[in-house]
Amino acid sequence: MSEVGSSVATMPALPPLPDWVTRVGVFDLETTGVDVESDRIVTAHVGLLDAHGREIAARDWFADPGIDIPAGATAVHGITTAQARSHGRPVGQVVAEVIAALRSLLAQGVPVVAYNASYDFSLLANEARRHGVIPLDDPSPIIDPLVIDKAYDRYRPGKRTLQVVAALYAVSLEDAHEAAADAVAAGRVAQALARQFALPETLAELHTSQIGWARAQAASLTEYFIRIGRIEPDDRLDGTWPVRPSPHREHRR
């Protein structure tokens, strides 16, 4: 039995796992930075978890992003520009293959879990446009443990990083900021949330609910940032989920 399965077995009277989360895809990127419009993919992971949180299929990618990897990003994921140039594959090929893997899962009706999904999917969509690949503009169904955790435990103080939230739900995460480890941990957190809370009964309902929750969470954070003077009163955080619109589309509106 996997580590997650073992820890779950010791907990009394856990509700059964809903059918729609007994088989989930997982997805994570490590990148050159945090700007979804300008930063690039360095590593990617797409996998599949069973009902016990065991990864039963997986693929990893290592890309040469085509730009220098800033020292700050290297400090997070440990990959240098020299390593990416020597061992990474052309990023356009990586983007096409990652999108193909995600499309395959979604076409089978398998939900894809991504922690802070609007970051990973938005950056992936912008990379796709940059390299002439058809983007995933409206992927569905997606499960975002960050959005769900905020919706169901809104007033819990403290940070909401994957490391913190994984620890809260007794999910092991030993190699944080490594794409495979983060992706698998996010999938196990999603399964833990499905056991902990009465989530919507279907994937379609959950996906739609997350769109509204993400929008409301961004609006609430916007008001807080304005109140503390972190952003200007006319500024707004984009709560579009799971893919933020490209700046070019924004200009055409």
Q: Can you identify the CATH homologous superfamily of domain 3-202?
A: Ribonuclease H-like superfamily/Ribonuclease H (3.30.420.10)
Instruction: Return all residues near 49 (Cβ < 8 A) that are at least 6 apart.
Output: 23, 24, 25, 26, 55, 56, 184, 187, 188, 191
The pLDDT of residue 176 is: 87
All structural domains of the chain with their residue ranges: 3-202
Task: Record the pTM.
Answer: 0.91
The pLDDT of residue 142 is: 98
Q: What is the pLDDT along the chain (253 residues), one digit of tens a residue?
A: 333 443 444 444 556 788 999 999 999 999 999 999 999 999 999 999 999 999 999 999 999 999 999 999 999 999 999 999 999 999 999 999 999 999 999 999 999 999 999 999 999 999 999 999 999 999 999 999 999 999 999 999 999 999 999 999 999 998 889 999 999 999 999 999 999 999 999 999 999 999 999 999 999 999 999 999 999 999 999 999 999 998 654 433 3
What are the backbone dihedrals phi and psi of residue 64, each rounded to the nearest 5 degrees, phi first? -90, 110
Asked if 178 and 58 touch (Cβ cutoff 8 Å), the reply is no
β 24-31/41-49 pair status? antiparallel
Instruction: Return all residues near 139 (Cβ < 8 A) that are at least 6 apart.
Output: 102, 106, 112, 121, 242, 243
The pLDDT of residue 246 is: 80
